[in-house]
Amino acid sequence: MPRRVAIQLLSLFFAACSLAAQAPSPPAAKFAIVLDAAHGGDDPGGRIGNLSEKAFTLAFNVRLRSLLSARGFQVVTTREQDAAMDSTRRAEIANRANAIACLSLHASESGSGVHLFVSSLTPAPPMRFPGWKTAQAAYATRSLALAGVLNSSLQQAGMTVTLGRTALMTVDSMACPAVAVEVAPERDAEHKITGELDSAEYQARVAEAIAAGLLEWRTEGRQP
């Protein structure tokens, strides 16, 4: 009798092992995207008409998260509510996600279309213990490539895009391909506004184009 029980237990154990081996792996970390809605809490950011930058970035963050989730990405956000968060905490969340792309979301009334900024740190080879404020240096080349893919996608969607490099503390501390996306009103050749920042249609166009760009980034196999 005890022998039969032992055999049954052993067979159960092997069955469990077999199921575990066949079980689908958890969502691949290589397809994670970090969305960092800039500002929040007592840091309102810039003014955008009657709206604050922190409110815009949070709303845009939600919109983009939905689009990315629908495309099979694992989306990690640095904030989901109007809460203050310093650049260190934001970078910590991003660095734990092992993401294929990290986007810092901003908005401004100046300029036109979408501004894509990459860290101005000089590209450096990966180090075992990189400096916190210069962690992005090892990813600078891939961040430039990511900005290029997003640029193509936004331009295909008929948007005006400007590319640049900047010194932004959150992005400089991110250990992933990172781009700061600043959404500005769309303007025509005479600088008349054709797409308002508070327009849901305009926000949707920008978000769709970014999501398409990230899909291409994943498809092209540029994961870390």
Partner 1 sequence: MIPRHQKVIFALLLVASLAMAALLWQLRQRAHQRMIAGEDAAPTSAPEVAPAVQATLLVASDADNSLITQNRSLPLPTDPGARARAVLGKLLDLYSTPDSTHPVPGGASSIAQVFLLPADAVKPAAAAGHAATTHADAPAAKEPDSTGPLLAVVNLTGSFVAGHPSGLETETLTVLSICGTLHANLPRVTEVRFLVDGHAQATLAGHADLTRTYLAADAVPSEGSHP
Among residues 93 and 180, whose Cβ is nearest to partner 1?
180
Does 166 engage in binding with partner 1 (CB under 8 A)? yes
Among residues 30 and 47, whose Cβ is nearest to partner 1?
47
CA distances from 208 to 16, 52, 162, 199 (A): 43, 23, 18, 14
CB of 105 closer than 8 Å to CB of 178 = no
Question: Residue 40 gets which letter from DSSP?
Answer: B
Does 165 engage in binding with partner 1 (CB under 8 A)? yes
Does 36 engage in binding with partner 1 (CB under 8 A)? no
Does 188 engage in binding with partner 1 (CB under 8 A)? no
Residue 109: Cβ within 10 Å count: 14
Closest-CA residue to 224 (of 153, 139, 151): 139
Using CB under 8 A, count the residues that bind partner 1. Answer: 29
In the complex, least distance from residue 180 CB atom to partner 1, rounded to whole angstroms: 6
Q: How far apart are CA 47 and CA 74, in angstroms?
A: 31
- Coil, strand or helix at 197: coil
- Choosing from 32, 64, 146, 184, the residue that interacts with partner 1 (CB under 8 A) is 184
Considering only residues 75 to 104 of the shown chain, the ones binding partner 1 according to CB under 8 A are none
In the complex, least distance from residue 95 CB atom to partner 1, rounded to whole angstroms: 18
In the complex, least distance from residue 15 CB atom to partner 1, rounded to whole angstroms: 56
